[in-house]
């Protein structure tokens, strides 16, 4: 079946390359038109000075984004390690892992958006040279992590019932629940680590978060292997063991990050735990005003991907497993532009704190261009290795047994080329807008793009049009592309008129 679909809808790499090039050229022309709308009154020396400040901004953005992106890659590597180890247990386990992640990340994105608001608030305070406000911004972010974490962790214990209500098979729901029983406890420590990481980045010292994450990757791999397969004298807990390993490592990362921020220069001068229990409801409300729309946007984005996974589940286990492999590949790629997005939030936020409107515009545009450039290169690499990537998840010995899964995953990786680039651009543009505390209208954009256009297209192309898994991915690509254009346009309009958020 997959081979027939592949023949019918096969698009050569050269043709897809032309389509991606056209997309990039169109995006570049759009950004160029935005930049050209700024009046240039002098040539020669002025043009040279302009090039110099953009070059400096690019260097500073890369310097900040590199450790952030590597930190994000490290965090997704921890999850990918779980998937690779669990993939040896078969397609059903891979599919159940996808379902468990669907339940977990619905909750995870809520707290993720709240602690994400620490970055713009702390960055603006750092730019304005207000260290006390930097500490207060972190404090309310830690509050949000704990307050949201208690009820959302409890929901993970009902994962099986949730999946059954969503129409999943009892076997798949039971396997997913076993994984969630260990994984669900990681929410609060993961959010606290993210809040501390955002604080480190806001004061332009993202390095410690990177080193903590790099140390966590092999630790996760060894601990997960031992708990999944019963190695090193540990109990054999299969899916439960993988979830517990991730939770234990997240708790350790959180503890080390707290210690670094409390005891080491330059973080200790902020006294991050000072007056931790003192009420700060005014700033907490401000964090909610910025962070809740971020959570809403994350939920809408994650929701459409979760719905896509459920659609894949209706198509079949092969489609769901192939979708999860392709989506996990996209997640690995996405972490670099997501790191650039975090850097954009910090750079734009610091410029806002200084009251420098031209610098905030420059920081956002440079970050968006950097994200698009990286994703173009990464997409080409994925297209060239599309047949080898699924084997990393299923194992080389699984080729004969899971030939359809491998073939469909490879086809989705080719069809997702525009998807990958649009996904990278939209996250960087969203990060730049967060540096301006502009999160409400992007929430509306997310609703229209992901659900009004993306999901409707996914369903219509997959079922009435009969394209199956390919139709789902075409619909996702369309929603992401429209979202990216809307966000870039929004950033252009705000920064062109020198917008500065109210303190």
Instruction: Name the band, by pLDDT with cuts 50, 70 and 90, for residue 43.
Output: very low
The mean pLDDT of 225-253, rounded to a whole number, is 91
Q: Which of 44-58, 275-289, 311-325 has the lowest mean pLDDT?
A: 44-58
The mean pLDDT of 16-24, rounded to a whole number, is 43
Q: Which domain holds residue 211?
A: 2-496
Res. 316: pLDDT tops 90: no
Q: What is the pLDDT of residues 418-441, one digit of tens each?
A: 888 999 999 999 999 999 999 999
- Better-scored residue on pLDDT, 401 or 17: 401
Distances (CA, A) of 224 to 178, 185, 229, 332, 391: 15, 15, 8, 19, 20
pLDDT of residue 79: 76
201: closest CA among 71, 76, 64?
64
The region, left, alpha or beta by phi > 0 then psi within -120 to 50, assigned to residue 264 is beta
Beta-carbon-side half-sphere exposure of residue 277 (alpha carbons within 13 Å)? 0
Instruction: Name the band, by pLDDT with cuts 50, 70 and 90, for residue 73.
Output: confident
Does residue 502 lie within any of the structural domains?
no
- Better-scored residue on pLDDT, 388 or 460: 460
Instruction: Name the band, by pLDDT with cuts 50, 70 and 90, for residue 388.
Output: confident
Does residue 475 lie within any of the structural domains?
yes
Summary mean pLDDT of the chain: 84
pLDDT of residue 331: 81
Round to whole Å and give the CA distance between 172 and 178: 10
Number of domains making up the chain: 1
Round to whole Å and give the CA distance between 201 and 68: 8
CA end-to-end span of the chain: 59
Res. 15: pLDDT tops 50: no
Does residue 385 lie within any of the structural domains?
yes
The mean pLDDT of 19-33, rounded to a whole number, is 43
Instruction: Name the band, by pLDDT with cuts 50, 70 and 90, for residue 501.
Output: confident
Does residue 473 lie within any of the structural domains?
yes
Res. 208: pLDDT tops 80: yes
Does residue 503 lie within any of the structural domains?
no
Does residue 166 lie within any of the structural domains?
yes
Instruction: Name the band, by pLDDT with cuts 50, 70 and 90, for residue 211.
Output: very high
Q: Is residue 199 a contact partner of residue 273, using CB atoms and an 8 Å limit?
A: no
Instruction: Name the band, by pLDDT with cuts 50, 70 and 90, for residue 449.
Output: very high
Concatenating the DSSP letter of every residue in 446-500 gives HIIIIIIIIIHHHHHHHTTS--THHHHHHHHHHHHHHHHHHHHHHHHHHHHTT--
- Better-scored residue on pLDDT, 475 or 29: 475
- Residue 397: burial class (beta carbons within 10 Å; 0-12, 13-18, 19+): exposed
Q: What is the pLDDT of residues 104-132, one digit of tens each?
A: 888 898 999 999 999 999 999 999 999 99
pLDDT of residue 102: 78
In our burial notation (b when 16+ CB lie closer than 10 A, e otherwise), range 6-42 reads beeeeeeeeebeeebeebbeebeeebeebbeeeeeee
Round to whole Å and give the CA distance between 82 and 183: 11
């Amino acid at each position: 079946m997959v081979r027939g679909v592949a023949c019918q809808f096969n698009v050569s790499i050269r043709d897809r390359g032309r389509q991606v090039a056209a997309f990039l050229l169109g995006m570049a022309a759009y950004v160029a038109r935005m930049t050209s709308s700024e009046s240039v009154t002098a040539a020669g020396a002025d043009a040279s000075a302009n090039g110099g400040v953009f070059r400096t901004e690019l260097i500073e953005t890369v310097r900040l984004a590199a450790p952030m992106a590597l930190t994000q890659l490290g965090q997704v590597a921890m999850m990918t390690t779980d998937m690779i180890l669990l993939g040896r247990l078969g397609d059903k386990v891979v599919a159940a892992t996808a379902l468990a992640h669907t339940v977990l990340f619905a909750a995870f994105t809520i707290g993720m958006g709240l602690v994400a608001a620490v970055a713009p608030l702390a960055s603006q305070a750092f730019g304005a040279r207000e260290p006390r406000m930097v500490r207060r911004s972190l404090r309310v972010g830690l509050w949000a992590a704990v307050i949201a974490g208690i009820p959302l962790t409890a929901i993970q214990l009902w994962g099986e019932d949730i999946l059954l209500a969503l129409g999943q098979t009892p076997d798949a729901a039971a396997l997913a629940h076993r994984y969630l029983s260990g994984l669900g406890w990681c929410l609060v420590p993961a959010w606290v680590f993210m809040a501390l990481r955002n604080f480190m980045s806001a004061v332009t010292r993202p390095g410690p978060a990177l080193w903590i994450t790099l140390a966590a990757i092999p630790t996760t791999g060894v601990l997960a292997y031992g708990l999944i397969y019963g190695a090193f004298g540990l109990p054999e807990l299969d899916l439960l063991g993988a979830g517990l390993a991730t939770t234990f490592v997240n708790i350790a990362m959180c503890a080390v990050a707290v210690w670094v921020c409390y005891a080491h220069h330059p973080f200790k001068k902020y006294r991050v735990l000072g007056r931790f229990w003192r009420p700060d409801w005014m700033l907490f409300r401000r964090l909610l005003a910025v962070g809740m729309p971020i959570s809403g946007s994350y939920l809408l984005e994650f929701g459409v991907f979760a719905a896509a996974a459920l659609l894949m589940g209706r198509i079949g286990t092969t489609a769901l497993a192939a979708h999860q492999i392709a989506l996990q590949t996209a997640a690995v790629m996405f972490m670099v532009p997501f790191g650039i997005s975090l850097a954009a939030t910090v750079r734009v936020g610091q410029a806002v704190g200084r009251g420098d409107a031209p610098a905030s515009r420059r920081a956002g545009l440079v970050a968006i261009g950097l994200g698009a450039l990286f994703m173009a290169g990464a997409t080409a690499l994925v297209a060239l290795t599309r047949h080898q990537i699924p084997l990393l998840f299923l194992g080389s010995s699984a080729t004969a047994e899971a030939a359809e899964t491998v073939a469909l995953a490879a086809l989705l990786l080719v069809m997702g080329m525009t998807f990958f680039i649009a996904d990278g651009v939209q996250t960087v543009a969203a990060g730049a807008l967060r540096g301006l505390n502009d999160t409400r209208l992007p929430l509306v954009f997310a609703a229209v793009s992901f659900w009004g256009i993306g999901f409707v297209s996914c369903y219509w192309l997959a079922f009435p049009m009969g394209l199956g898994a390919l139709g789902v991915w075409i619909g996702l690509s369309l929603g992401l592309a429209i979202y990216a254009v809307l966000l870039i346009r929004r950033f252009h309009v705000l920064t062109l008129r020198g917008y500065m958020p109210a303190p």
